[in-house]
Chains A and B, each alone.
Chain A
């Protein structure tokens, strides 16, 4: 393998990894605030992509993209109010099952509406792929990578530097004390679902012009995003993006050495291996806490 092949493999891995990482951030944001693992995140991200596809029929592309992001956030928030909030007094695992129900309902509804065909968006900016040291990268891929980095920056800024962000974090650290000082924990949890939906929706919309979007991709997206989230300790936003990129690179390597069929398999095996041997991922958190 020469240098340009190697570079090509890295570029592809990083692009895919940025998507997985941002989906993983969706898991992290919700888990940090509510303790819930939201199985539906991949499917909610697809809601955003399909909404953008529909809106792009009638609106300018940039408005359709923004609309798609807003719809992903709204549907994610709605799923919280309808399915998770009523179960807030129950065991977390009960809420986990409810998110599975949301995932199935959302996916099958998309399938009823759109069938199982492939859909696409036009690229955000037109132009030939850029050439870097013999390898190529599409302009859209640069959008995906840039957006994922911007999302990480905005979320870190939000959680560490704004009062609202601190209120949300307070709910995560001690819900009872947060309520005592007058923070509406329900609202904060809903906000976390909205943020997660928006983040996951954004990258999924951004990758639609590069490949295609089908209604059945949600579960795989969730699973790969969760591998990234494990690497981030299901807690750290920046490390989760790094984790996503690691997943993307491992997938690329598998595709080269074993064939594309085994790429998804590699990510899933990685999840099992991590859970068995290194559940804290790249962090030093203690994860062996009792439920």
Chain B
């Protein structure tokens, strides 16, 4: 039933895309006057620019205010290429887009490491610089620009009249929409959406934040450049004024009004803004006189921007989705008690199991990590130290982890257990010491690199990616399994499709093993804390790790759930995964792990088998805070 729902949503998407194609074909029938066709062309250019902007704003969570500037690169590039250099339009378009990509790469790489508002300011400045240069350039006709641009042509076919241009632009919009939708549910798209919510967690799953954001930025500029090229071939003339900062801001308004989470928002927003412009040109002259048209329109745009942000943060598409979800919930509620009861149960019980199934059966659907022999050293740490100012959180710790072993790391609060996990996973750089994985020195290697070497981890407080379903959340975990880049994911090549299928299989297996399959289509943030804890483990498992670091996975679980968790961890061990378990529940740790590493104030207190550690007087003193006088009481208690 769940699978059929998934297929249904793909069917819906296909239908929606089909509807767009039909709409394009019907457009000349509906839009008969040349004025309305001109409007449609403007709508198409706006939509194309907005589709590009959604990639960087909606997916990567960064603001670019230079979409008009990148369009200027396309428009002037195409104009110079075709008029001055005599190139065919397609070549000019491609070269301009490449140039825009290059500029954006050079600018994005360093600035995307900074806080978000710096990119907004930098792009704003870039747009203004380009605008001033074009306005001041006598070579390019200054503020009046230059003309003589031929219509766009493709292998001898010329898009000369308005009808043909309309088809060309609407086709590009459909292609842009397709690319946007494909990327959203692809490996790189999920990575971007994950790092928009939390960069640290995304990096711990193998995503390189700077590089991922730069790719999205480059692609968004390519969209804008192509839109600019088409614009030049439609107007047959270029001048700087359409490419000023205000246009960039208007494109931002389009996606805020339409909604940034989905490429559909670009189309909806572009349509809304076209309608608003038309409305204001007919209403404003009556209110303020002819002279106020431009300013009046801007005023409406500015106020609208604030109003939509305050009243409808998801834009039109977000509002529609919320309504849709509410209607669906209402329908489910009225469908009867059976489903309601089922969902209530699922909330209280993290790992429900089918009747008659035994824990051991689960290893049959193994995610297949590399075979490890118990003797092989997977992770080796020497002299690891981390200081925060004057505080030494981890102090000269040595540690060895073998394949098919569970190492329990215990210690009182503040002993440095979580810092240790952060150091091992590359989230924090150590002050000194050496970390070796598979014989390779990975000290000070960034987290995304360590993740790609087969180390997965969970976080003490579960981090869910808002707006993602349970299945998508686990798919983020499969990032290191795949290779498909952002461009290839837009084209349904057999290789890309095969890889996506494989990642889904792995993700579903991970969910199955962790007992979360029945929740796969739920929004991850709606899950109970217990479920989220297990979902974190599933997300880590989906990367097919050889090392898995678990930071207090049992906190907040009840007794039965803890037993299920222990079973799950045992099955991981039997497959050869090397595990580190940071946990406060002594009963669970002692019953599960092969060796125990006791930390106190960042220092190693004792390493040994559970029995040895339990008997060690030093450990008892540190852990129970027992001094000489109360020691006997404890002994009596035992």
Contacts and interface: CB of A to CB of B under 8 A. Distances in A.
Interface in B244-300: 245-246, 249, 252-253, 256, 288, 291-292, 294-299
Interface centre among B107, B124, B125, B126 (most CB of A within 10 A): B125
B391 interface: no
B113 interface: yes
Contacts of B117: 37, 92-93, 96
Given A104-B249, A271-B121, A291 B115 contact: yes
A103 B135 CA distance: 24
A199 B304 CA distance: 28
B302 A272 contact: no
B310 A87 contact: yes
Contact of B302 (A91, A108, A275, A279): A108
Given A96-B63, A290-B199, A108 B309 contact: no
A261 B136 contact: yes
A42 B288 CA distance: 25
Contact of A107 (B65, B133, B199, B298): B298
Contacts of A272: 107, 122, 125-126, 129
A112 B296 contact: yes
Interface in A42-78: none
Contact of B306 (A82, A90, A279, A289): A82
A98 B305 contact: yes
Interface stretch (A3-11, A159-167, A244-252, A262-270): A262-270
A87 B117 CA distance: 16
Contacts of A87: 309-310
Contacts of B495: none
- Which secondary structure dominates chain B's binding surface? helix
Contact of A279 (B118, B200, B246, B301): B118
Nearest to B195: A290
A94 interface: yes
B298 A92 contact: no
B136 A279 contact: no
A223 B124 contact: yes
Contacts of A290: 115, 199-200
A112 B295 contact: yes
Contacts of A107: 298, 302
Contacts of A109: 295, 299
A89 B121 CA distance: 23
Contacts, number: 137
Nearest to B135: A261
Interface of A is mostly: helix
Interface string B189-205: 00000000001100000
Contact of A97 (B111, B113, B252, B294): B252
A289 B299 contact: no
B249 A275 contact: no
Contacts of B313: 90, 94
Nearest to A43: B302
B122 A100 contact: no
Contacts of A128: none
A269 B303 CA distance: 31
A155 interface: no
B53 to A, nearest CB: 12
A98 B65 CA distance: 14
Interface in B545-602: none
Interface in B132-166: 132-133, 136
Contacts of A106: 302
A276 interface: yes
B114 interface: yes
Given A96-B63, A105-B302, A271-B125, A265 B133 contact: yes
A291 B299 CA distance: 30
A37 B110 contact: no
A277 B256 CA distance: 31
Contact of A92 (B65, B116, B124, B292): B116
A105 B306 contact: yes
A122 interface: no
Given A112-B292, A290-B199, A264 B132 contact: yes
Interface string B83-113: 0000000000000000000000001001101
A262 B129 CA distance: 10
Contacts of A91: 61
A219 B245 contact: yes
Contacts of A291: 61, 115-116
Contacts of B129: 265, 268-269, 272
A256 to B, nearest CB: 17
Contacts of A111: 292, 294-295, 298
Contacts of A182: none
Contacts of B246: 104
A104 B305 contact: yes
Nearest to A280: B114
Nearest to A107: B298
B578 to A, nearest CB: 30
A146 to B, nearest CB: 30
A274 to B, nearest CB: 9
A112 B288 CA distance: 8
Given A97-B252, A104-B302, A275 B114 contact: yes
B128 interface: yes
Q: Which among A96, A108, A271, A289 has the highest number of chain B CB atoms within 10 Å?
A: A108
Contact of A101 (B107, B124, B305): B305
A108 B114 contact: no
A155 B95 CA distance: 52
A288 interface: yes
A269 B448 CA distance: 33
B302 A101 contact: yes
B120 interface: yes
Contacts of B61: 91, 93, 291
A108 B306 contact: no
**Among the interface residues B62, B113, B200, B309, which one has the most CB atoms of the partner chain A within 10 A?**
B309
A88 to B, nearest CB: 11
A86 B312 CA distance: 12
A287 interface: yes
A290 to B, nearest CB: 5
Nearest to B298: A108
A289 B114 CA distance: 6
Given A101-B302, A271-B122, A288 B295 contact: no
B311 to A, nearest CB: 9
A265 B136 CA distance: 10
Nearest to A220: B128
Contact of A83 (B252, B253, B310): B310
- Most chain A CB within a 10 A radius of its CB, from B62, B117, B299, B313: B117
B114 A288 contact: yes
A229 to B, nearest CB: 9
30 contacts: A37-B120, A37-B121, A82-B306, A83-B306, A90-B313, A93-B117, A96-B63, A96-B117, A97-B252, A97-B256, A97-B305, A98-B306, A98-B310, A101-B253, A101-B304, A101-B305, A102-B306, A104-B298, A104-B301, A108-B295, A108-B302, A112-B292, A112-B299, A115-B291, A223-B128, A265-B129, A268-B129, A290-B199, A291-B115, A291-B116
Interface of A: 37, 82-83, 86-87, 90-94, 96-98, 100-109, 111-112, 115, 219-220, 223, 226, 261-262, 264-265, 268-269, 271-272, 275-277, 279, 287-291
Given A94-B309, A272-B125, 15 more contacts: A87-B309, A97-B305, A102-B302, A108-B295, A111-B294, A112-B295, A265-B132, A268-B132, A272-B126, A275-B114, A287-B115, A289-B115, A290-B199, A291-B115, A291-B116
List of 9 A-B pairs having minimum Cβ-Cβ separation, nearest first: A104-B302, A105-B302, A101-B305, A108-B298, A111-B295, A108-B299, A101-B306, A37-B117, A108-B295
